[in-house]
């Protein structure tokens, strides 16, 4: 158990809809990361938050947004969903967010778009 | 820019044989390197990390990796494969001039262990 909790585990929805994925980091970790894992793109970094502030941005679409709340949990919002958004979305956390710190991953949310 | 290349998307070994999973990195700054393992329907679990201390890094489950700057490599090894090692393995690099910590992953290597 990594200590990172993601909900829900599975999400099935239709094109054009909007969903919210939730992540609770390990106790004491200030930094949260979101990654997308798909068959064609592999594991790709989406966005990082540190103590409530956006820290780094990767290949995140404009239809996607995220935030980190004062209690340090984070949400990833995906809107105007397309078939290609079907993927496994992982949240990870680390203590300070600096390069030498390993990230600890949750079990992911599997998103299926019908 | 940071990147890693994993040679071999599938590797098969016999139980008890040596496991060797290859990873080469590209980095504009001294890299921090990681190996993660992913079991079916699970998240990524950290196996080991290199953060500029000893070049030979020991991890969990009997795995180790050696950082070779001259070869820009960070290959993962285990002397004797066990059936429970069957999984997908990802090499990752982090670190840039800003100190940002986002990971760049390789495409993964699926390890099959033959009884």
Q: Which residues of A touch B99 (CB under 8 A)?
A: 98-99
Find how far residue B61's CA is from the centre of its chain: 13
A92-101, B27-36, B67-76, B88-97: range with highest mean pLDDT: B67-76
Q: Give me the pLDDT at residue B98, please.
A: 61
Residue-wise pLDDT for A27-56, tens only, equals: 999 999 999 999 888 999 999 999 999 988
Task: Give which of B35, B39, B41, B43 to mutate to test A binding, by max A Cβ within 10 Å.
Answer: B43
Q: Could you say which DSSP state residue A101 is in?
A: S
> What mean pLDDT comes out for the span B75-86?
97
Contact criterion met (CB < 8 Å) for B45 and A102: no
Task: Determine the pLDDT at residue A5.
Answer: 97
Q: Report residue B41's pLDDT band, with 50, 70 and 90 as the boundaries.
A: confident
Residues in contact with A71: Cβ distance below 8 Å, sequence separation at least 6, in sequence order: none
B103 with A56: Cβ contact below 8 A: no
At residue A66's C-alpha, the angle toward residues B28 and A73, to 5°, is 100
- Percentage, residues of chain B above pLDDT 70: 95
Contacts of B28 (CB under 8 A, 6+ apart): B1, B2, B96, B97
Position with higher pLDDT, B2 vs B88? B88
* B27-48 mean pLDDT: 89
pLDDT digits (tens, 9 = 90+) for A77-90: 999 999 999 999 99
**CB atoms near residue B22 (< 10 Å):** 17
Per-residue pLDDT band for B34 (boundaries 50, 70, 90) equals very high
| Res. A96: pLDDT tops 90 | no
With cut-offs at 50, 70 and 90, classify the pLDDT of residue A65.
very high
For B26-45, what is the mean pLDDT?
Answer: 88
Partner-chain residue, chosen from A48, A55, A100, that has the shortest CB–CB distance to B32: A100
pLDDT confidence bin for A100, thresholds 50/70/90: confident
Quote the mean pLDDT of chain A: 93
> In the predicted model, what is the mean pLDDT of residues B25-35?
85
Query: pLDDT higher for A70 or B96?
Result: A70
pLDDT grade, residue B95 (50/70/90)? low
B97 pLDDT above the threshold of 60? no
Contacts of A105 in chain B (CB under 8 A): 36, 43-45
């Amino acid at each position: 158990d990594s200590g990172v909790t993601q909900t829900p585990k599975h999400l099935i929805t239709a094109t054009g809809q909007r969903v919210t994925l939730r992540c609770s980091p390990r106790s004491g970790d200030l930094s949260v990361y979101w990654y997308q894992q798909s068959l064609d793109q592999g594991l790709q970094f989406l966005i990082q938050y540190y103590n409530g502030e956006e820290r780094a941005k990767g290949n995140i679409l404009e239809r996607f947004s995220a935030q980190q709340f004062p209690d340090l949990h984070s949400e990833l919002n995906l809107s105007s969903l397309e078939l290609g958004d079907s993927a496994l979305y992982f949240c990870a956390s680390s203590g300070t967010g600096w390069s030498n710190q390993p990230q600890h991953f949750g079990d992911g949310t599997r998103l299926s778009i019908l | 820019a940071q990147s890693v290349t994993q040679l071999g998307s599938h590797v098969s070994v016999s139980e008890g044989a040596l496991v060797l999973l290859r990873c080469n990195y590209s980095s504009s700054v001294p890299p921090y390197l990681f190996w993660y393992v992913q079991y079916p329907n699970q998240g990524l679990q950290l196996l080991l990390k290199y953060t500029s201390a000893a070049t030979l890094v020991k991890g969990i489950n009997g795995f180790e990796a050696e950082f070779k700057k001259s070869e820009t490599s960070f290959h993962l090894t285990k002397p004797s494969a066990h059936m429970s090692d069957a999984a997908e393995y990802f090499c990752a690099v982090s670190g840039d001039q800003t100190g940002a910590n986002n990971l760049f992953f390789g495409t993964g290597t699926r390890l099959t262990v033959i009884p």
